[in-house]
Amino acid sequence: MINLSTAKVAVIGSGLIGRAWAIVFARAGVEVNIFDQNNEALSECLFLIKALLEDKLKYGLLQEEVSQILARIHPVQTLEEACQGVSLVQENIKETVEAKLALFSDLDRLCSSTTILASSTSWLPTSLFTEKLRGRARCLVAHPTNPPYLIPLVEVSPAPWTSTETIERAMEFYAAIKQEPVLVKKEIHGFLLNRVQGAVLNEMLNLYEEGYASSADLDKVMKYGLGLRWSFMGPFETIDLNAPAGVTDYAARYGQTYADVSKTQKDNPWSATVIKKIEDERRQILDSEQISERSRWRDNRLMALKKHQDEQPK
């Protein structure tokens, strides 16, 4: 059993995702060393984290004072210092194989042999940047969903050489800090969430390009339709409840239609022309200068939803 009050982790990279992970770990009672190679990013991270925590406090999502949580987050000046005595490293640097290869090689050298080395990468399988490492058995991907302090899903995706013990410890640790880990049983580009998101976006782009609806109306299909159900149950549970006798009954009624529709869906709708049209429609609705303000609105909506979800019986 993991004792969170004596656990210590390192967060490498203090950008958007690194700061968010620091909140997740610290609010669970874990001490956090945070390091960034960019001094400016490192020096402003506590200030930015404090603002996020104050928002969460407003929505009643914190069990402690902001200052108590902040006191567990320690910006450090070197990677060596960050790795001292930690049981897990959460890497959040830029999304290139070269950068991850170089950092994981340093982490493998600097960390104790029992430290789990986890990457937040959105797309890169663990085996692309850990194959040559002596300690490759303790490496895996733990892909969060942005922002992880509000959206709990963590996709744990090991390489073929990651040890079972590492996988079990990682799953146990993310669950203990109140995230929802899921295990990706075989390596696949984009893991689970981004592949599902990609399938939805592909079809939305296709429908838009073929002129079936405006981008705003297609967004409504999700926010006033599918998204309402999907915010508390998955598509498999949805279809199990959408026919009187469950999944098999649903498939008997609608399966062939879905199969026929899938034959009319195109492979690659990401053309520059269609993106430009959607950009123009979006900029009519939201000026580019308002994007960060609107992102804050999104996070506040997520906080209200999270509070609602936390209050519901499981």
Rounded CA-CA distance 230/242 in Å is 13
By CB under 6 A, how many residues form the interface with ligand NAD? Answer: 23
Residue 122 interacting with ligand NAD (CB under 6 A): yes
Residue 120 interacting with ligand NAD (CB under 6 A): yes
Which residue, 79 or 239, is less far from ligand NAD as judged by CB? 79
Which residue, 106 or 210, is less far from ligand NAD as judged by CB? 106
Which residue, 16 or 226, is less far from ligand NAD as judged by CB? 16
Query: HEC profile for the chain?
Result: CCCHHHCEEEEECCCHHHHHHHHHHHHCCCEEEEECCCHHHHHHHHHHHHHHHHHHHHCCCCCCCHHHHHCCEEECCCHHHHHCCCCEEEECCCCCHHHHHHHHHHHHHHCCCCCEEEECCCCCCCHHHHCCCCCHHHEEEEEECCCCCCCCEEEEEECCCCCHHHHHHHHHHHHHCCCEEEECCCCCCCCCHHHHHHHHHHHHHHHHHCCCCCHHHHHHHHHHHHHHHHCCCCHHHHHHHCCCCCHHHHHHHHHHHHHHHHHCCCCCCCCHHHHHHHHHHHHHHCCHHHHHHHHHHHHHHHHHHHHHHHHCCC
- We find the least distance from the C-beta atom of residue 179 to ligand NAD, in angstroms, to be 13
Which residue, 54 or 95, is less far from ligand NAD as judged by CB? 95
- We find the least distance from the C-beta atom of residue 60 to ligand NAD, in angstroms, to be 25
For the segment 38-57, give every residue that binds ligand NAD (CB under 6 A): 38, 41
Member of 92, 130, 157, 215 binding ligand NAD (CB under 6 A)? 92
Residue 94 interacting with ligand NAD (CB under 6 A): yes
Residue 146 interacting with ligand NAD (CB under 6 A): yes
Residue 190 interacting with ligand NAD (CB under 6 A): no
CA 271, chain centre distance (Å): 26
Which residue, 18 or 125, is less far from ligand NAD as judged by CB? 18
Contact region with ligand NAD (CB under 6 A), list: 23-31, 119-127, 211-219, 284-292: 119-127
Distance in Å from the first CA to the final CA of the chain: 23
Member of 46, 99, 207, 218 binding ligand NAD (CB under 6 A)? 99
Member of 9, 10, 11, 12 binding ligand NAD (CB under 6 A)? 12
Contact region with ligand NAD (CB under 6 A), list: 116-124, 216-224, 229-237, 280-288: 116-124
Which residue, 38 or 238, is less far from ligand NAD as judged by CB? 38
Contact positions toward ligand NAD, by CB under 6 A? 12-18, 36-38, 41, 92-95, 99, 103, 120-122, 143-144, 146
